[in-house]
Structure 1
Amino acid sequence: MKQFLIPALLGLSLLTGCQKKETGDTASSGSSEGDTTAQSVSTVGDPKLLYTLPNKYNTPDGMAIGPDSSIYLSVPNLANNTYPGVIVKFAADSVQFFTSLPQQPDTKHAAPMDLAFGPDGNLYYAENQHENSKDYKSRLMRITMQNGKPGKIDPVVVNLALGNAVVWKGNTIYVTDSQWDMPDNDKGSAVFHFKLDELNKGVVTLKPKTMDPHILATFTTTVNETGVDNGADGLDYDSKGAFYTGSFGDGTLYKLTLKPDGTLASKETVKVSTPISCVDGLIVDRRTDKLYVCNSRTNAIVVVEPDGKVSTLVQNPDTDGKDGRVDQPAEVLLKGNRLYITDFDKPEKHFVNKKADQVHTMSYVDLK
């Protein structure tokens, strides 16, 4: 499959500044009647509409800043996977197609989640093949970059269950697997780490349902009324090098401290002033060490201070997102003082968001 950059626009709507776009799309966001969780959510903050995307980009997810300061976006298309998973790029005045992605040989799908540029200048992304197969078909993939354009795309790690977040720190890449189960724990998840030198030597083959030597830390999800057992999801590190991840299923936020040799020194639950019911994507502002966390369940972006104090930056009831309000936020990216938000819009039971609709959006907030 040939990959190349297509500079033409792709029929999407662009919005900048504080304008708001009205759309004629008749798709509704679904009723919240009978669900007290949805009815109790208030409106906080004033996110702006960044882009309205076409149906072929129906679940915008991970974001990464490239060497040229452009932003790259993964679109696994999990709400409607008749469309292939792709990566697109933000240009100055549009979202442009960047590259199609190779299908996993068994599932016949590409499912890119979070992504990040490595110290070698190449782009790495994790897959969520768990939607297509529960048999450890997810991978960590590398796009070889050539003069800013995608070249060869190959797996560098295989046998993940549900690859999710991807973060580079130095010459080590850290990856969350939201479904890394063990023989005695079917609610497991993990953070893995891989050195660039090892990835360059050949494909790393993980050993499912074991304490594979690439595991940094493991976690157990407490399943609640949502029935979701996905665990470690978003991932980032602070100015002191400590990593943070959280459970999608139960909202527990974790702090991982590393030894000088990169092994785990401690794993602790972050004591927060207000419980967080779901942790999806997150990012740390290393200027302040504040965490910006997507609470996918309650349609919110919350801020966690270094002392554990939690405040709500953005929140709103069920919506299709066409006016810029968040529609099940899944990932955040901080560039300067602007916080970019992807609206995944693929709800679980008891989420404020009630159904995947035909409006696919990205939002942003300018921080003070």
Structure 2
Amino acid sequence: MNYSIPLALLVAALATGCQSNQKDKQGDATSAAATTDTSVQITGSKRPALLHSLPEMYNTPDGMALAPDSSVILSVPNFGNPSFTPVLLRMANDTIGFFFAPPKHPDTKHAAPMDLAYGPDGNLYYADNQWQYSKERKSRLMRIRIQNGKPTTAEMVVEGFRLANAVVWKGNTIYVTDSQWDTPEKPRESAILHFSLSELNGTPVKLKAGFTDPHILTTFTTQDNPSALDNGADGLDYDSKGNFFTGGFGDGIIYKMTLKPDGSLAEKTKFATLACVDGLIVDRTTDQLYVCDSKSNAIRLVSPDGKVSTLAENGDTNGSNGLLDQPAEVLLKGKRLFIANYDMPEKAFRNQRFDAPHTLSVIELDK
């Protein structure tokens, strides 16, 4: 594979705004030096392969968005090694290169891009997840203005999230999960919030703390679990009938939500249970869910009737051979399933360490 990265360090790229076609020798060297553990147990109906191996300057790949030109935009918040500046990368064919440098939060002095999605206006929206740097509702929803397919400037459109996470557009409405939408009195809550495009074209929305903000679609209470993680609603998507699905990172419960014609919640039910739910995506041709069970190093399939099976699962690995290394996000591009390996272990996770290489995996669904 060929890679293109910013010239020298990212700082230089930010200063010049240029994009480089230089081959990523550092990434190649890291991949070549990594140990391929042939003893790692592999189960499931498919085996993942290596899509990209990234250098240390891109060390926690996360959200992915399919662009109008069929390229894929990848967020890299660099939480694993924050000495490197967070970036958005662009994947096209067999190349991956610099796309945009998200602006730092004025208070925390950090950028933290997570999930992202193109809106009906052609602009790119992303969750700026400041949870690692502040618990004081500093997370934001950001918009990158796109002109002729290229990013120009970024601006805040919503402020006041605690842990902004998944971002999904349906029509002219954007839905955002907040995995820690809680209060001292209710410390295990999370939420889905929604905003209209017309609303985002006004002054930035400032969310109210607590549970009365009109943008809240519904909330969830994370159940007690062996890992003691209380992060709630994480990944988010909808099926061909307009039903939404999300799942708890801490307790692994997947919920199905139906909406009323006015966009408010009609019904919320427990749909399936895994060990953990991170990113998820729905194949709207089959209404099958592809779900990252990050705790188990696995990609699960959930059928339209809620039955769970395993697409791919493996033991602890550094991911150098394309195996799963704490998968956090999935993206369907035709019959290819792209997987971002976040590699930031939590308590009781199968993944035991943050280590190079930093990888994206792919599963060929039609093979």
TM over 0.5: yes
Q: 1:298 aligns with which of 277, 296, 299?
A: 296
Q: Find the counterpart in structure 2 of residue 186 from structure 1.
A: 187
Deviation at 1:106, TM superposition (A): 1.1
Q: Deviations 1:225-280 (Å, cap 9, x if unpaired)? A: 2121100000000000010000000000001110011111111111x3xx401000
Distance (whole Å) between structure 2 residues aligned to residue 137 and residue 223 of structure 1: 26
Distance (whole Å) between structure 1 residues aligned to residue 135 and residue 148 of structure 2: 37
Q: 1:348 aligns with which of 338, 343, 346?
A: 346
Mapped pair 1:11 → 2:24: yes
Deviation at 1:14, TM superposition (A): 8.4
Distance (whole Å) between structure 1 residues aligned to residue 356 and residue 161 of structure 2: 31
3-state DSSP of counterpart to 1:164:
strand
Mapped pair 1:281 → 2:279: yes
Q: Is the 8 A contact 1:51 1:361 kept in 2?
A: yes
Mapped pair 1:317 → 2:318: no
Question: Which residue identity is paired with 1:330?
Answer: A
Indicate how the Cα distance of structure 1 residues 224 and 253 shifts in structure 2: closer, same or farther if over 3 A, else same: same
Question: Which residue identity is paired with 1:257?
Answer: T
Question: Which residue identity is paired with 1:8?
Answer: N
Deviation at 1:366, TM superposition (A): 0.9
Question: Which residue identity is paired with 1:339?
Answer: L
May I ask how many residue pairs the two structures share in their alignment?
349
Question: Which residue identity is paired with 2:264?
Answer: T
3-state DSSP of counterpart to 1:297:
helix
Q: Deviations 1:304-329 (Å, cap 9, x if unpaired)? A: 00111111001000000000001000
Question: Which residue identity is paired with 2:235?
Answer: G
Q: Is the 8 A contact 1:3 1:99 kept in 2?
A: no
3-state DSSP of counterpart to 2:251:
coil
3-state DSSP of counterpart to 1:197:
helix
Q: Find the counterpart in structure 1 of residue 112 from structure 2.
A: 111
Q: Deviations 1:59-111 (Å, cap 9, x if unpaired)? A: 10000011111100000111111111110001223111001110011111100
Q: Find the counterpart in structure 1 of residue 3 from structure 2.
A: none
Distance (whole Å) between structure 2 residues aligned to residue 209 and residue 3 of structure 1: 43
Alignment of 1:148-227 (within 5 A): 148-227=149-228
Alpha carbon RMSD of aligned pairs, Å? 2.0
Q: Find the counterpart in structure 1 of residue 265 from structure 2.
A: 264
Distance (whole Å) between structure 2 residues aligned to residue 294 and residue 308 of structure 1: 15
Q: Find the counterpart in structure 2 of residue 33 from structure 1.
A: none
Question: Which residue identity is paired with 1:187?
Answer: R
Q: Is the 8 A contact 1:43 1:317 kept in 2?
A: no
Distance (whole Å) between structure 2 residues aligned to residue 209 and residue 10 of structure 1: 49
Q: Is the 8 A contact 1:12 1:51 kept in 2?
A: no
Distance (whole Å) between structure 2 residues aligned to residue 22 and residue 158 of structure 1: 39
Q: Is the 8 A contact 1:318 1:353 kept in 2?
A: yes
Question: Which residue identity is paired with 2:295?
Answer: R
Indicate how the Cα distance of structure 1 residues 144 and 223 shifts in structure 2: closer, same or farther if over 3 A, else same: same
Distance (whole Å) between structure 1 residues aligned to residue 85 and residue 363 of structure 2: 29
Q: 2:33 aligns with which of 24, 27, 37?
A: 24
Q: Find the counterpart in structure 2 of residue 18 from structure 1.
A: none
Q: Which runs of 5+ in 1 are unaligned?
A: 16-20, 30-38
Q: Is the 8 A contact 2:73 2:90 kept in 1?
A: yes
Distance (whole Å) between structure 1 residues aligned to residue 18 and residue 164 of structure 2: 26
Q: Is the 8 A contact 1:9 1:94 kept in 2?
A: no
Identity of aligned residues (%): 57
Q: Deviations 1:210-239 (Å, cap 9, x if unpaired)? A: 321100010011232212110000000000
Distance (whole Å) between structure 2 residues aligned to residue 48 and residue 109 of structure 1: 33
TM-score by length of 2: 0.91
Q: Is the 8 A contact 1:10 1:97 kept in 2?
A: no
Question: Which residue identity is paired with 1:317?
Answer: G
Distance (whole Å) between structure 1 residues aligned to residue 264 and residue 142 of structure 2: 24
Indicate how the Cα distance of structure 1 residues 341 and 170 shifts in structure 2: closer, same or farther if over 3 A, else same: same
Q: Find the counterpart in structure 2 of residue 328 from structure 1.
A: 326
3-state DSSP of counterpart to 1:23:
helix
Deviation at 1:196, TM superposition (A): 0.4
Q: Deviations 1:174-232 (Å, cap 9, x if unpaired)? A: 00000000353101100000000000011000012232110001001123221211000
Q: Is the 8 A contact 1:5 1:150 kept in 2?
A: no
Question: Which residue identity is paired with 1:43?
Answer: T
Distance (whole Å) between structure 2 residues aligned to residue 101 and residue 365 of structure 1: 29
Q: Is the 8 A contact 1:157 1:203 kept in 2?
A: yes
Distance (whole Å) between structure 1 residues aligned to residue 154 and residue 15 of structure 2: 10
Q: Is the 8 A contact 2:27 2:55 kept in 1?
A: no
Q: Is the 8 A contact 2:51 2:362 kept in 1?
A: yes
Distance (whole Å) between structure 2 residues aligned to residue 342 and residue 321 of structure 1: 11
